[in-house]
């Protein structure tokens, strides 16, 4: 940190050695190369959904819909290192109204992933991953439900998993009877339809295989880092066990999970949370949403080498976790071992 004033704990590039600057420049060049490559892939053509799992939470109830097409993305370059995306979608086969969302997009080329944020509703986000082997996208949308998706036309929360095939080139969306553009699978060429059907079948095989894995037995915590934030203060607790998950199938493409937990060794009270679960088979990842407190979510990833699961829970603290018995926010990391029935 040579050359820095004592009041300025900031390290700048020009303060690095020649070797460090060279290494940093190489890292930057590699990052930007991967960044541009992923942006070019996303912006080439259109992305047409082949499978959609839609879940909308309102008043503690879950409305679930499974669809195939009727959801498109078109990405375009906004700046040298940022994309925008226009998402066009219909909500049901009986209502051809096309809704649109304009997203801001940032990519992570190291993982072929990206995050989208809706400027009109900043709490609404989507995370996605591009799979190079299959030339497909998985998007998981999480947050306030999109326009028109609220069952009673009031505020609602949604968690949706969409799977997309790519239609390369400049295929234009067909204008529907309402004068709105949307590209459906039926409008693709036979070759494009065959590719889309193959992509969808592969996705569903992998999705259902991952669901079978999660529902095989029980998951028991081996390490828990609990942090509850309230009134600007953080209460931190480290535990081992006392937190279990059991997953079950609620539909061919959706899981539910019951989480049973205790908060301390001195209090044996068992609390429970019932989660709605969506899986991303290309990342072995899951996202869970509590219908009773829709802003409370958990994201996790299964590790095949160790047969373990890591879950990160973020949102309003679970029942009984508020230090002063009032509203609080929690961020918790839990590690689970797999107790298989099949072993």
**In this model, does residue 252 exceed pLDDT 90?**
no
Q: What is the overall mean pLDDT for the chain?
A: 82
The pTM (predicted TM-score) of the whole model is 0.79
Query: What pLDDT is stored for residue 150 in this prediction?
Result: 46
Provide the 10 A C-beta neighbour count for residue 122. Answer: 11
Q: Residue 14 to residues 3, 8, 23, 218: CA-CA distances in angstroms?
A: 10, 15, 13, 53
Distance, in Å, from the CA atom of 56 to the CA atom of 70, rounded to the nearest integer, reads: 17
With contact defined as beta carbons under 8 Å apart, do 314 and 331 qualify?
yes
**In this model, does residue 164 exceed pLDDT 90?**
yes
Residues 105-134 pLDDT 10s:
999 998 899 999 888 877 778 888 999 888
- Mean pLDDT, range 283-289, rounded to an integer: 88
Q: 3-state DSSP call for residue 252?
A: coil
Query: What pLDDT is stored for residue 4 in this prediction?
Result: 47
Bigger pLDDT: 230 or 161? Answer: 161
**In this model, does residue 207 exceed pLDDT 60?**
yes
Hunting for tokens 């008043």 — which residue is that?
59
**In this model, does residue 322 exceed pLDDT 60?**
no
Query: What pLDDT is stored for residue 1 in this prediction?
Result: 44
**In this model, does residue 328 exceed pLDDT 50?**
yes
Distance, in Å, from the CA atom of 161 to the CA atom of 311, rounded to the nearest integer, reads: 18
**CA proximity to 309, closest of 216, 228, 232:** 216
Query: What pLDDT is stored for residue 155 in this prediction?
Result: 55
**In this model, does residue 339 exceed pLDDT 90?**
yes
With contact defined as beta carbons under 8 Å apart, do 159 and 141 qualify?
yes
**In this model, does residue 288 exceed pLDDT 70?**
yes
Q: Which domains does the chain have, with CATH numbers?
A: 39-213 (2.40.128.420), 215-339 (2.40.128.420)
Residues 46-78 pLDDT 10s:
899 998 888 777 777 777 778 888 888 999 998
Query: What pLDDT is stored for residue 209 in this prediction?
Result: 94
Distance, in Å, from the CA atom of 51 to the CA atom of 263, rounded to the nearest integer, reads: 39
């Amino acid at each position: 940190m040579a050359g820095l004033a004592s009041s300025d704990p900031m390290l700048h590039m020009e303060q690095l050695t020649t070797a460090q600057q060279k290494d940093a420049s190489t890292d930057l060049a590699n990052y930007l190369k991967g960044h541009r490559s992923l942006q070019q892939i996303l912006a080439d053509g259109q992305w047409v959904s082949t499978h959609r799992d839609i879940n909308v939470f309102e008043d503690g109830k879950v409305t679930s819909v499974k669809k195939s097409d009727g959801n498109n993305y078109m990405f375009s370059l906004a700046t040298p290192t940022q994309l925008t995306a226009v998402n066009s979608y219909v909500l049901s086969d009986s209502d051809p109204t096309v809704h649109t969302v304009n997203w801001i997009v940032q990519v992570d080329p190291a993982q072929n992933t990206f995050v989208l944020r809706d400027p009109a509703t900043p709490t609404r986000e989507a995370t996605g991953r591009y799979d190079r082997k299959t030339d497909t996208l998985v998007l998981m949308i999480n947050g306030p439900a999109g326009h028109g998706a609220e069952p009673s036309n009031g505020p609602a929360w949604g968690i949706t998993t969409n799977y997309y095939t790519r239609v390369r080139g400049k295929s234009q969306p067909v204008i529907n009877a309402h004068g709105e553009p949307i590209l459906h699978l039926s409008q693709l060429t036979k070759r494009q339809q065959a590719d889309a059907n193959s992509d969808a079948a592969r996705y569903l095989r992998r999705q259902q295989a991952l669901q079978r894995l999660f529902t095989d037995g029980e998951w028991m915590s081996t390490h828990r880092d609990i942090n509850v934030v309230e009134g600007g203060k953080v209460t931190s607790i480290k535990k081992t066990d006392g937190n279990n998950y059991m997953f079950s199938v609620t539909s061919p493409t959706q899981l539910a999970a019951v989480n049973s937990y205790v908060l301390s060794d001195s209090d044996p009270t068992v609390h429970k949370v019932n989660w709605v679960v969506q899986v991303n088979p290309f990342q072995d990842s899951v996202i869970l949403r509590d219908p009773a407190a829709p802003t409370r979510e958990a994201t996790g990833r299964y590790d095949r080498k160790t047969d373990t699961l890591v879950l990160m829970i973020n949102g309003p603290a679970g029942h009984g976790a508020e230090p002063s018995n009032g509203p609080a926010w929690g961020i918790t990391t839990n590690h689970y071992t797999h107790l298989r029935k099949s072993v």
